[in-house]
Amino acid sequence: MFCFGLFSQSNFSFSGDLQINGQTFQEDLSIGAEKREPNINSYLNLILDYKNYLKIGTRLELYRNPIPGFENYEGEGIAYKFVQFQKWNFDITLGNFYDQFGSGVLFRSYFDQNLGIDNSVNGARLKFKPSTGIDLTAIIGKQRNYWELGEGMIRGFDAQIYVNDYFFKKSRTTINLGGSFVTKKQKDNDPFFILPENVGAWSGRMNISKGRWNFESEYAYKINDPSFTNNYIYKNGNSIKISSVILLMFFSTFYSCEQEEIDGCMNESACNYNNEATNDDNSCQIPINEVLEVIYIDSVVSGPVGEDLIAHVHIRNSSCSPVSVKARKIYNGSVV
């Protein structure tokens, strides 16, 4: 891969990259490999940027002798082009784009040249952040099918809410909620079957994480979408995806490994709780209902008549926040 920047000024910048992949093949009758011509895949990306909020980009692709199964890629041309505007909490893209809703159960478009996958959407995408903690996305367009576009028109909407921006702001546990709705509109040209021309699907998801632990779940529902791939089944479908991950830190040498010890307070209710601690060092500061806690008082004091007597009172702040204490002097029942 070769990257370059042709020019850069205060307002404009122009950059790009060139990638060339090639393979040669030799005959090997023991595994059934036949001799064939070398194949070459090339990708040239160009991007013009204006003040970091307006971008114009394109990608030129060239395929020579694609491997079996991807013969339809043979040729060259502009396969990806877009104009993108990003400002005032808006992100607007016209042309080709890649995106994903949630875990990708309902909608995912991506590019992987090693797998021969490029299902970019050619259309329009609008992303909007109405306030902190809310992300909205709307899309419409047709997906790439080799050098052509698929017949179906895709329309979708996705919302992501970061709960901790509104509730549980001081919590060490983060909660994110999301939902998606996607439809595919395609004319029924089948001479034998009556196929639905507008297929819809929706999903809801949740993500909870705390320290090194992460939990993800997503449920999706789709109305019947009979096709050759599923043997023309007229049946609604649903799916659920659940995953949980715990990240552990290890130090390893050769074939031995031991967990790194981190001293700290491991009580979650303490003011000085350390979610990365693996060894409790008895330093926890546990808050109590009463903000001020009297830990010592001189219950009896004595001295000569007419002299000032001094009594000691020790007070501890038992909350997780700073506290101001005002002392008042009382003589014969009156504040002085």
pLDDT of residue 257: 42
pLDDT higher than threshold 60 for residue 65: yes
Specify the pLDDT at position 9. Answer: 64
Higher per-residue confidence, 246 vs 249: 246
**Which one, of 250, 288, 249, 254, lies nearest residue 271 by Cα?**
288
Q: What is the mean pLDDT of the chain?
A: 84
Structure tokens at 125: 């995408």
- How wide is the angle at C-alpha 57 spanned by C-alphas 53 and 59, nearest 5°? 155
Q: Is the pLDDT of residue 156 over 80?
A: yes
Is the pLDDT reported for residue 80 higher than 70? yes
Q: Please give the model's pTM, rounded to 2 decimal places.
A: 0.69
Q: What pLDDT shows up at residue 183? A: 97
Average pLDDT over residues 18-32: 84
CA distance 174 to 207: 8
Q: Give me the pLDDT at residue 88, please.
A: 92
Is residue 107 predicted with pLDDT exceeding 80? yes
pLDDT in tens, 199-239: 999 999 999 998 889 999 999 999 998 888 888 888 898 99
Cα separation, 284 vs 76, in Å, equals: 66
pLDDT by residue (tens digit) across 116-142?
889 999 999 999 999 989 999 999 999
Domain boundaries, the chain: 1-85, 88-247
List CB contacts of 203: < 8 A, sequence separation 6 or more: 101, 102, 105, 106, 179, 180, 218, 219, 220, 221
Q: What is the mean pLDDT of residues 292-309?
A: 68
